A and B are shown apart, each in its own frame.
Chain A
Amino acid sequence: MSELIGKTESLCPECLKTIPAEKIAEGDKVYLVKTCPDHGTFKVLIWRGVEDYKDLERYSCVKSKPEKIAVKNSGTCPEVCGLCPDHIQHTCLVVLEVTNGCNLKCPICFASANERYKFHPSLEEIRKMFQTIVEYVKHPIAVQISGGEPTIRDDLPDIVKMGKSMGVDYIEVNTNGVRLAEDINYLQKIKDAGVDSLYFSFDGITGDVFLKTCGKDLLDTKLKALENCQKVGMGVTLVVVVSRNVNFHQIGDIIQFAKKWIPTVKGVHFQPLSYFGRYPSMPRDDDRVLLPDLLKAIEEQTKGELRADNFIPTSCANVHCDAKSMSILMEDGTLFPLTQRALGPPRETSQIAKKTRQEICDLWRYIEDSISSSSEEDLDGTWLGFIQRAKTHYLTVSTMPFQDVWNVETERLRNCCIHTVTPDGRLIPFCLFNINSINGKTLYRHEIFSKYRKG
């Protein structure tokens, strides 16, 4: 029994040509089936749970077109991107890559760092990218400085100051933390320069995990980096690249670990391994960690402390792109989830993009600072105490599986709100920017960045 539940377009994994695709429900699985006239038919598993897949449409928000776009003509998505008039969501987070160099050489890397050519833009080139951002994105503007490894740049504090002085409201740095573990002064410098938080790759709680994902045991380094963040008061989101046979079984333990590091740790972001950049092998359906698989694992491995039902789409991107939960850490050490699918979709969906930008900028803080208590009041067991606690003791657990050449849907690309800024003045959906064919050819990343190579 198979049922056609949707039509879209995708890319040919061989030649990257845009080809028609159908979403087919078979049993309780949803597949994307696409045929390239030259390279044949591809069938890829994209979801487990057909009813769940359909039900999520309720969370779809009122889309809001970006006000300014770099590409004038429509009808060329996704080949000519920049964004174009077909795009139907604002930018919520801009990814700005400041190098493709790295102080690690991980077997898994979406950016294919340290390969082929050196992309290491000058301060002037970076200034132009910030200029694109402030011209095209509405306030509050949230930027993730990424790479490569941004902390290999000694001028990172200058880059951060430049962005803030040009009007960027919030800056997070995507980092492996190696330099921040070794050099607390550098960490202090980037904090003083205006870095609001770290997007800190943290794949597991045992050394063997890092051996597999990074090629060496980095556990002590990661812990040292966290300690340093605690010392200087830098907020951290732990980013976990989830892979079936590497760390899938540690999902629950990582959440428990994160709880111990609250309030330094603000969130855990699970990033199922996607098949672009450097990846070890051709994907099999069984290897893929789909969004529903991840939520199920969280529920099982936290023994129901967080349930799949506690995860809702942000409604900003496509409803099948992401899910997040928000919880307060109670006095007894358990998570109290505030989010619940049963409560239904947001009532106010027209300003979602703005709201999401604000939430990113507030480090997903749940409560305003304005409510405070007089010092003589006893807060134990009171609602005022609960509120005071909620200001700092919270944890956002989220996930956003990237789209790769196998499972990409143009409809989801047009919904995308996380965009990479390019030195030639464009904003391109992050997944699309990174997608590469099985031969390693990209539509955007290498084509654009290699033009600005420094060797």
Chain B
Amino acid sequence: MEIKIPNEVMELIGKRGIKEDDVKDVIETAESSNKKIVMGNRNLAKKIIGQATVYVDYELEKGLLKKHATVKSAYSHRLMLGEIVNATDKSDWVCAHCNEPALYGHVAMTYMQVTRNGPAVVCPKCKDSWVEEYLATKTLAAVEGLFEKKRA
């Protein structure tokens, strides 16, 4: 498995406090378990590492001998994802694990004992869910920042 992280992506994940090794870990775990969502050759995988859930958005090309992954982006959140609250709208994502279409819906998300809902891509069959980049880097980052205020 060859994983390529372009310079501009390296810079971005550095700013977000994500390590290169974690990015590789997420991709390798997803490729061996097939737990990810896909849209064409685009893949979104996640893994809980330490206190964070790390997401990697990557493109995959299957070579003759090994697969090549090119990382498009990576992000993380520290809220814990819980139950799927609803699954309402069609999406272009497909759950690679069960091969069913994934849907847009809402998921319970918990941080510091407070639970609220947030939008996510969900697979009702696998009961799994994925937070998209816009939500993780804006709303959820603000939530985490707010709770972090108490420290400093």
Contact = CB atoms under 8 A, between A and B. Distances in A.
A346 B151 CA distance: 5
Contact of A383 (B117, B150, B151): B117
A366 B146 contact: yes
Nearest to B118: A383
A383 to B, nearest CB: 4
Interface stretch (B30-38, B96-104, B136-144): B136-144
A181 interface: no
Interface in A340-388: 340, 343-349, 355, 366-368, 371, 381-387
B116 interface: yes
A195 to B, nearest CB: 26
Given A383-B117, A385-B116, A386-B116, A340 B142 contact: no
B117 A381 contact: yes
B116 A382 contact: yes
A339 B114 contact: no
Given A343-B151, A367-B146, A336 B139 contact: no
B149 A383 contact: no
A44 interface: no
Give the residue among B118, B119, B147, B152 with the most A Cβ atoms within 10 A.
B152
Given A383-B109, A387-B146, A348 B152 contact: yes
A390 interface: yes
Interface string B106-143: 10010000101111000000000000000000111011
A344 B116 contact: no
B139 A384 contact: yes
Contacts of B143: 383, 386-387
A339 B116 CA distance: 20
A343 B142 contact: no
Contacts of B151: 343-347
Give the residue among A340, A345, A346, A382 with the most B Cβ atoms within 10 A.
A382
A326 interface: yes
A233 to B, nearest CB: 23
Interface residues of B, number: 20
A366 B147 CA distance: 9
A80 to B, nearest CB: 35
B152 A347 contact: yes
Nearest to B145: A367
B150 A387 contact: no
Where chain B touches its partner, the secondary structure class is helix
Nearest to B109: A383
Nearest to A337: B150
A399 B123 CA distance: 50
A345 B149 CA distance: 11
A368 B117 CA distance: 21
A232 interface: no
Contact of A382 (B79, B117, B138, B146): B117
A390 B139 CA distance: 12
Contacts of B146: 328, 338, 366-367, 387, 390
Contacts of B114: 336, 386
A127 to B, nearest CB: 36
B144 to A, nearest CB: 10
Contact of A346 (B116, B119, B145, B152): B152
A344 B150 CA distance: 9
Contacts of A339: 149-150
Nearest to A336: B114
A349 to B, nearest CB: 8
A397 to B, nearest CB: 13
B80 to A, nearest CB: 12
B116 A367 contact: no
A325 to B, nearest CB: 9
A381 B108 CA distance: 10
Nearest to B116: A383
Nearest to B113: A336
Contact of A371 (B106, B117, B139): B139
Interface string A323-338: 0001010000000111
Interface in A298-333: 312, 326, 328
B89 to A, nearest CB: 13
Interface in A57-114: none
A326 B116 contact: no
Nearest to B140: A383
A339 B151 CA distance: 7
17 contacts: A312-B150, A326-B150, A328-B146, A338-B147, A338-B150, A339-B150, A343-B151, A346-B151, A348-B152, A349-B152, A368-B142, A371-B138, A383-B117, A383-B140, A385-B116, A386-B143, A387-B146
Interface of A: 312, 326, 328, 336-340, 343-349, 355, 366-368, 371, 381-387, 390
Given A338-B146, A383-B140, 4 more contacts: A346-B152, A366-B146, A383-B143, A385-B116
* Interchain residue pairs A-B with the least CB separation, the first 10: A346-B152, A339-B150, A338-B150, A383-B116, A383-B118, A382-B117, A384-B139, A371-B142, A386-B116, A387-B142
